[in-house]
Amino acid sequence: MSVYDLYFSFGKPGTYTLDHTEGHCSQRMPKNYYEWTENRPIKAIKHLSSDAHDNIFMVWTSDNRSLVCESHLNPIYLPLQRFCAKEGDVNCRVQFGPILGEYFVTSERTGRCQWVSRQLDRDMSTETGRFKLCSLGIDDTYVAIFTDGSVKWSLGDEYPGLLKILKRVRQGDLVFAALNPYRANEFFVALADGIVHIRASALVEKHVLDVLAQYPNLMVVTSDVIKYTRTISGDQGFLTKFRTKDFIKFIAKNVAGGVISSAVAATFSCTVM
């Protein structure tokens, strides 16, 4: 599988979706997501954005390869709905910000875009490049990727781990980026050389690591929470009992009181294609 086939979306705290060649996985998504996907064939999730208020915008490919779009939006997003209606819902890529009413949307068909974001107003008012995507983070932060492979960002002090990565990339290196809009220094990025970086809770990192283990051409780099990087190649790279035991010890040591049981018992919904 190519990194170009990956899609990842953070939602409200504890929520995420990962789409990959062999299926898609999710945790604690809004109710509408499960209503839309439970009895409908999904070949691939092309785009998904949700927020802490259960607003959700989703585009996927059905088993007959046609594009389908569903959304559930607060009335505050009426300008967004009008934009998508004009451009064609299935052509639009939406990202919600951490504050109700904040968003970025671009049309893959025409290249037109629209946003409600103070930092984008300051930084992008004269931008002439065509957006591929723009992920919004906490405190007016963002990462924007353009169709020519160039990247712009404003991360402040909120995502130091990602800043280190971005300072090393060249034009065309960054394929995909998703900021967690509710937690500092949590992100998912994919690079053209097959390296995937995930910074999130220990359980989410472990789950993403395990799901992507089936793809021998990817290298997944996690944070210091899990304390290791695994290169996936052939029959190597699967978790040893020792490493799994270390991970459980970490959870027990760092998650206090009754949170331990709920954390370890967290369930992930996965669909295999």
- What pLDDT, in 10s, does the model give residues 190-225? 999 999 999 999 889 998 999 998 999 999 999 854
Strands 67-72 and 195-199 come out as unpaired
pTM of the model: 0.83
Provide mean pLDDT across the span 4-33.
88
- What pLDDT, in 10s, does the model give residues 80-133? 999 999 999 999 999 999 999 999 999 999 999 999 999 999 999 889 999 999
Taking the C-alpha atoms of residue 132 and residue 71, their distance in angstroms, rounded to an integer, is 20
User: CB of 209 within 8 A of CB of 200?
Assistant: no
Beta bridge partners of 12: none
- What pLDDT, in 10s, does the model give residues 245-254? 454 454 444 4
User: CB of 268 within 8 A of CB of 28?
Assistant: no
Q: Which two tokens stand for residue 260?
A: 């331990």
Taking the C-alpha atoms of residue 195 and residue 10, their distance in angstroms, rounded to an integer, is 19
Q: Residue 181 — pLDDT band, cuts 50, 70, 90? A: very high
Taking the C-alpha atoms of residue 43 and residue 69, their distance in angstroms, rounded to an integer, is 13
Taking the C-alpha atoms of residue 134 and residue 196, their distance in angstroms, rounded to an integer, is 18
- What pLDDT, in 10s, does the model give residues 20-35? 877 888 887 888 988 8
Confidence at residue 33, expressed as pLDDT on a 0 to 100 scale: 87
Name the strand (E) or helix (H) holding 119.
helix 118-124
User: CB of 54 within 8 A of CB of 96?
Assistant: no
From the list 212, 190, 209, 213, the residue with the least C-alpha distance to 200 is 209
Phi, psi of 190, deg, nearest 5: -125, 135
Model confidence at 256: pLDDT above 70: no
Question: What is the domain partition of the chain in residue ranges?
Answer: 3-272
- Alpha carbons within 13 angstroms on the beta-carbon side of residue 72 total 15
Torsion angle of the four alpha carbons 268, 191, 215, 183, in this order, in degrees rounded to the nearest 10: -10
Taking the C-alpha atoms of residue 34 and residue 131, their distance in angstroms, rounded to an integer, is 30
